[in-house]
Amino acid sequence: MLPEVLLVSAPGKVILHGEHAVVHGKVALAVALNLRTFLRLQPHSNGKVDLNLPNIGIQRAWDVAKLQMLDTSFLKQGDVTALTPEQMEKLKEVAGFPEDCADHEHLAVLSFLYLYLSICQSQRALPSLDVAVWSELPTGAGLGSSAAYSVCLAAALLTACKEIPNPLKDGEAANRWTEESLELINKWAFQGERVIHGNPSGVDNAVSTWGGALRYQQGKISSLKRPPALKILLTNTKVPRSTKALVAGVRSRLLKFPEIMAPLLTSIDAISLECERLLGEMTAAPAPEHYLVLEELIDMNQHHLNALGVGHASLDRLCQVTMAHGLHSKLTGAGGGGCGITLLRPDLERPEVEAMKQALTSCGFDCWETSIGAPGVSVHTAASLDAPVRQALDGL
């Protein structure tokens, strides 16, 4: 077991282009969002495993000796298949939950226990640990917060149990794991996501592990070579929506108007491919005209998404407000409310951005100035973390 404290972070994600079309076999581009989840793992000797999740108000502790005595043979070591309903029930027993609890917050605890028991089985004895996780990401907004959580847990537990080496060398502020270690982190993070979501696509955990930008099509995930980091404004309209209902709505419109809808989906696919090509060009030398094309693609995709029927008055408002400041926005994810992204060109003046943020806040929206194409899961020294992050973790 590692003697020292581990500090790990992983990014969230947004869909840049291809939401909804991806369900029908088209390309989607998912990018790492530089709003991050931070995890602190501290080995200790009090014979307990503590989990602290302040964002959702959860604090749990288990007796290591009691966990050690439980029959956890139902979690095969190194077994990376989906959990059966029976295994999920057993996990709930271990966690001490009533059988009928399924709310999201309990699932975060189950995911932790599953990863802790599975990964730490290789140790002579289960380790006594204190794990605290704090996030800049809002939960339930389609920004990959649960995947960032699972990725942080997998990376920290694998490193603490010496299944993968700690890449942080003396004198370094932060570092990333090797490709081989990232593969293992991603594999276990996907398992954590399965506990939370049942049948996830694997995109969110892959983006959070590798960072940058990924292309996803019919189950195949590939990384884009060194995409540029683009500044964006992320806006949460805070309008709740059901992803399931929105996906079903697109499907029924496609059945009702196949000749109209199929070309729209093909067109969205072409937007994703053009954006992928453009990001490739921008790797070498981003030019002002690249940003103008990115803005055109954003506008076209937003109109297409409205035609698919997944727009919302709150998203129209977002587009109007940003357009009044000469900027371009689209929904990201399921639509019907939720979040939108606005591209911030490098030539923007500070007062312009502030005025726009103020206008959006007065609509009742939440805004974050951040970037996409962020680095994936990383390990940090305490000194290298921003003061608010340090304060949040120190307060736990």
Please list the active-site residues.
146, 204
Residue 278 tokens read as 């453009």
Question: Which residue stretches of the chain are H helix?
Answer: 64-69, 85-95, 104-119, 145-160, 179-197, 203-210, 243-256, 258-284, 288-308, 313-324, 350-361, 387-394
CA–CA separation, 285 vs 297, rounded Å?
19
What does the angle CA 83 – CA 97 – CA 149 come to, to the nearest 5 degrees?
60
Tokens for 299, please give them: 């506008």
DSSP letter string, 218-282: TTEEEEPSSPPPEEEEEEE------HHHHHHHHHHHHHH-HHHHHHHHHHHHHHHHHHHHHHHHH
Whether the Cβ atoms of residue 20 and residue 331 lie closer than 8 Å to each other: no
List phi, psi (to 5°) of 43: -70, 140
In whole angstroms, give the CA distance from residue 374 to residue 370.
9
| Rounded CA separation 22/28 (Å) | 6
